[in-house]
Structure 1
């Protein structure tokens, strides 16, 4: 998909927001949902999405929704750092298929990184064990400020 087009209300994140597809929630409020990536690039990989915006990418998002998303990304990254004690945290956001985007609902990746551990490729990691994801989500949620 290109940078332009119509929002697909059946994309996986829209289906998660509707409750049609289960997810492992880390935290949410009226504006954002933070959940575990089921194909994590690293232990503790979280996704941050807007509940209100139907923006497909960064170029389409409303400034107010973007501000809420960035605040949620920071809050999540701080909790990941506190809960998992990584050596670093990668925050990633992709736009358009050529830019690496695979789900066309604006989202941010919060990926903990450790020295000496290879990060799995975006969209190429194996599916995680759901019990492990729930345990990680609990640890991260407990560390929220």
Structure 2
């Protein structure tokens, strides 16, 4: 059920403390941790503690938590002294989503090209 922890979800297991992660920030509604396969000097994932399959579902069901993710993404960038950075939400396998728990990638510390991908 949406919002409830899923037994087979990697990110739910990180939230629950079953899988270790390098956590850089945590709030009542979010957890931010370093990506294990970084694509930039700063590559942090910001996730909701509640399970939603993607950012679109989260925005509909818990818009306040979706805003919390963006606020924490900015805080991650501030903590890493980034003047410019990218926030990416992938929605669906065709867009590159591999963990089906809503999450934002905060990427910075190098030049970003356009278009991405």
Alignment TM-score, normalising by the size of structure 2:
0.76
- Structure 2: give runs of 5+ residues left out of the alignment: none
Please point out which of 55, 59, 69 is paired with 1:58.
55
- Structure 1: give runs of 5+ residues left out of the alignment: 1-6, 123-145
Aligned mates of 2:76, 2:52 — CA distance in 1: 26
1:133 is matched with: none
Alignment TM-score, normalising by the size of structure 1:
0.63
Aligned-residue CA RMSD (Å): 2.7
C-alpha displacement of 1:79:
4.2
Which structure's CA Rg is the greater one? 1
C-alpha displacement of 1:67:
2.8
Contact 1:32 1:69 in 2 (8 A): no
C-alpha displacement of 1:72:
3.4
Aligned mates of 1:82, 1:61 — CA distance in 2: 25
Aligned mates of 1:70, 1:106 — CA distance in 2: 13
